[in-house]
Structure 1
């Protein structure tokens, strides 16, 4: 696990339709407006990805910096969900072996463009969400 100076930042693939829907899902439920978002295609997102060894041109994971620690793959998704109001119950999924959780995560990540599609350009958030985007 790596550290990063900004906290509660979610790194995502901005051209991935599934990933962009994930960000909208989180933003809608994050009533405390705790999380901020950065597309891997942005300058900030590229620096963050490179700091954690993620290839910005071929990302295979999302990442979230929470509690000063970077979480990846299923750990990242469960960390975010577990911090959302009404979603704390998902923390029980940490009991599922990481090998199993990440196998499912990797299957979806590898096929995300084929299954869900891809934007030609980075997803543009609405005005309310734009205030939470780090570029």
Structure 2
């Protein structure tokens, strides 16, 4: 049997990806109260929701690994895309999850030892896709 997220892990993955409860609800098509019950441990996390968010976690790890390959000892400039619409326009990717994963990875890189600068006119490395 594969790994299944518990309520605490579900909340940690959602928050780590920068998703609001409302965004998470839209992704899995449930009401806010249902999501809150899952995160509070009042109801078990359904298998399909667990699988979806484990996939997002895997996508995050892949995106991080790919961007880390591009960062050597040199300084790299990356866009942040504060607005979802900018991300869609510049990348032709209309997935809010991909945008949040990208933002989360960039935030991680900014908060760690990696030398990066942010400039929304820069291009996302192809390795991110």
What range describes the TM-score normalised by the shorter chain of this pair? Answer: under 0.3
For the pair shown, the structure with the greater C-alpha radius of gyration is 2
Q: TM-score, normalised by structure 2?
A: 0.24
Whose strand fraction is larger, Structure 1's or Structure 2's? 1
Relative contact order higher in (CA < 8 Å, ≥ 6 apart): 1
Whose helix fraction is larger, Structure 1's or Structure 2's? 2
